[in-house]
Amino acid sequence: MDHFLYRDGALFAEDVAVSEIAAAVGTPFYVYSTATLLRHYHLFDEALAGMPHLVCYAMKANSNQAVLRTLAQAGAGMDVVSGGEYRRARAAGVPGERIVFSGVGKTAGEIRLALEGGIRQFNVESEPEMLVLNAVARELGVVAPITIRVNPDVDAKTHAKIATGKSENKFGIPIARAREVYRMAADLPGLDVVGIDVHIGSQLTDLAPFEQAYQKVAELTEILRGEGHDIRRLDLGGGLGIPYERSNAAPPLPTDYGAMVQRTLGHLGCEIEIEPGRLIAGNAGLMVSAVIYVKSGEGRDFLILDGAMNDLIRPAMYDAYHDIVPVIEPAPGVEQQPYDVVGPVCESGDTFARQRMMAPLKAGDLVAFRSAGAYGAVMASEYNSRPLIPEVLVQGDQFAIIRARPSFDEMINRDTIPHWL
Ligand code: LLP
């Protein structure tokens, strides 16, 4: 459920008309709903209520300072994957003890930053990383809390580009080698092994692969404990999917997920961490765009928008489906027609949807891409010298620009011309 609903024929973000925001900031733009962000965070928090836990929002999904501050104030931790994300989380007011650090390529500099600034744990992904982490911790005279990410070799049944839990993926260490790697970690004086980490992929619409992976984690916990490791924390990653296509069966809810976690891991008495990104931010955001032209092609009509693949890359990159809805609700009974919905960027990949059935639109009309709050603005670029589009946050009847649209001069002046030109 989100807070983007029609009222008297016009699309609202909470209590603000989307067209009012468009008039104030121009199109295209992203708009996020505070109530939806918080609702999703609390759903997870409540789903794990029976167990000691921390919801560490995977901020790669949407790392705007205002979004982070909203969630941090509600009590969320963060999952970061770079020094940049670590800095953003701290700048938004997240204490170090609520930050977990994931990722296969943490540099010595990033490790030092987090050890000096405070960190809950590093989710270690390889032996070489473990050695660097140990060395940096020793140098600083501290002990680094770690989990080791295991790759459980389960099929997450999601898009190949976002599956991470198969043995051919670059993530984690093969679960079969876990005992050996945990033994090695226990011998390194700069490390404190606190638990196990697993993340099998993103946009999962079925609980079965999660359950399979978590069962393997439960077995591994008992084995490692038997070998003297004090496994007290389990980081279960993120990955629960959202309903992009409203006509499809809805994916399981956080409540169902929480019950499954309780069932498979509850008996171990571990502290549970989860790293949801998409489910928290995805349906809390729209990308709003205006129709520039309606162009009649050979046997098809193109809806040419002012938003493009550089603003929202998911359709071009993963063939992802996003609902596209008119900001002014069509009158009941209006006949829909098929459109190819495209942006102005000069490549055919700049296509949001083919033969999408929509009520007739004309130049100047506004449309909203639903489910665009996660992996939208964060993956945007300035391809075709299109400045990054602004982001807006709504709370009740107020809205604020949380990232302004840069001017063309700002964009151009980031380049510098060498002295010989
Ligand atoms: N934890 C780790 C270690 C991850 O790698 C990810 C996502 C998450 C948590 C959060 O997963 P979520 O709950 O959001 O599914 N750009 C792609 C998604 C990439 C996901 C990468 N890792 C997309 O637009 O679909």
Element (H, E) at 13: strand 10-13
Does residue 263 form part of some domain?
yes
pLDDT, mean of residues 49-61: 97
Domain span holding position 348: 4-31+283-413
Give tens-digit pLDDT for 131-162: 999 999 999 999 999 999 999 999 888 887 77
- Do 221 and 340 lie in one domain? The reply is no
Q: Name the catalytic one among 1, 249, 331, 346.
A: 346
**Residue 379: per-residue pLDDT:** 98
The residue among 293, 373, 295, 369 whose CA lies nearest residue 326 is 369
Q: Is the pLDDT of residue 383 over 80?
A: yes
User: Ligand 1 pocket, 162 CB below 6 A?
Assistant: yes
Q: Is residue 316 assigned to a domain?
A: yes
For residue 163, pLDDT over 80 is answered with: no
Check: CB of residue 49 under 8 Å from CB of residue 410.
no
pLDDT tens digit sequence for 329-367: 999 999 999 999 999 999 999 999 999 999 999 999 999
Candidates 144, 52, 56; CA nearest to 100 is: 56
96 pLDDT exceeds 90?
A: yes
Residue 165 has pLDDT above 80, yes or no: no
Q: Measured between alpha carbons, how far is 284 from 367 in angstroms, rounded to an integer?
A: 16
Q: What pLDDT is stored for residue 158 in this prediction?
A: 81
419 in a structural domain? no
Q: What confidence score (pLDDT) does residue 248 get?
A: 81
Regarding whether 294 and 277 lie in a shared domain, the answer is no
Are 155 and 267 members of one domain?
yes
The conformation of residue 167, written as its DSSP 8-state character, comes to: T
Specify the residue with its C-alpha closest to ligand 1, atom 24.
375
Does 208 lie in the same domain as 76?
yes
Q: Which of 45-59, 168-182, 336-350 has the lowest mean pLDDT?
A: 168-182
Burial of 17 (0-12, 13-18, 19+ CB in 10 A): middle
- Domain with residue 259: its CATH number is 3.20.20.10
Question: Could you tell me if 197 and 123 are in contact, meaning their C-beta atoms sit under 8 angstroms apart?
Answer: yes
Q: Which residues pair with 357 in a beta bridge?
A: 338
Distances (CA, A) of 104 to 1, 68, 122, 148, 375: 34, 23, 11, 11, 19
110's tokens: 């990033």
Which pLDDT belongs to residue 249? Answer: 83
**Which ligand 1 atom is nearest residue 237's CA?**
1
Residue where a domain stops, chosen among 250, 265, 281: 281
- 46 found inside a domain: yes
- Taking the alpha carbons at both ends of the chain, their separation in whole angstroms is 56
Residue 183, in any domain of the structure:
yes
Asked if residue 266 and residue 370 are part of one domain, the reply reads no
* Same structural domain, 67 and 216: yes
Q: How many Å apart are CA 238 and CA 233, to the nearest integer?
A: 16
Q: What is the pLDDT of residues 390-417, one digit of tens each?
A: 999 999 999 999 999 999 999 999 999 9
pLDDT tens digits for range 205-239: 999 999 999 999 999 999 999 999 999 999 999 99
The number of folded domains in the chain is: 2
The CATH number of the domain holding residue 367 is 2.40.37.10
pLDDT of residue 122: 98
Same domain, yes or no, for 273 and 178? yes
Q: 194 and 89, same structural domain?
A: yes
Q: How far is the CA of 195 from the centre of ligand 1 (A)?
A: 21
As a whole number of angstroms, the distance between CA 221 and CA 237 comes to 16
pLDDT confidence bin for 169, thresholds 50/70/90: confident
Average pLDDT, stretch 82-103?
Answer: 98
What average pLDDT does this structure show over 156-179?
A: 84
- Same structural domain, 338 and 220: no
Domain presence at residue 418:
no
pLDDT (0 to 100) of residue 268: 98
Q: Cα–Cα distance between 254 and 239 in angstroms, integer?
A: 11
Please tell me the predicted confidence (pLDDT) of residue 297. Answer: 85
Q: What average pLDDT does range 39-62 have in this prediction?
A: 98
**Same domain for 23 and 90:** no
Pocket-testing residue among 202, 235, 257, ligand 1, by greatest number of atoms within 8 A of Cβ: 202
Ligand 1 atom closest to residue 313's alpha carbon, by position in its atom list:
24
Residue 302 included in any domain? yes
Among 281, 303, 326, identify where a domain stops. Answer: 281
Extract the annotated binding site for pyridoxal 5'-phosphate. Answer: 239, 275-278, 375
- Alpha carbon 260 to its chain centroid, in Å, reads 22
Cα 92 from Cα 84, distance rounded (Å): 12
For residue 191, tell me if it sits in a domain. yes
Residues above pLDDT 70, as percent of the chain: 100
Ligand 1 pocket member 318 (CB < 6 A): yes
pLDDT at 168 over 80: no
User: Residue 352 — φ and ψ, nearest 5°?
Assistant: -85, -35
376 CA distance to ligand 1 centroid (A)?
12
Give the residue with greater pLDDT, 254 vs 247: 254
Q: Please say if 270 is a catalytic residue.
A: no
Q: Choose the final residue of a domain: 223, 253, 281.
A: 281
Asked if 214 and 333 sit in the same domain, the reply is no
ipTM: 0.99
28: preceding bond cis by omega (within 30 degrees): yes
Q: Ligand 1 mean position to 238 CA, how many Å?
A: 7
Report whether residue 209 contacts ligand 1, using a CB cutoff of 6 Å. no
Q: Are residues 324 and 351 in the same domain?
A: yes
Angle at the Cα of 100 from the Cα atoms of 99 and 105, rounded to 5 degrees: 130
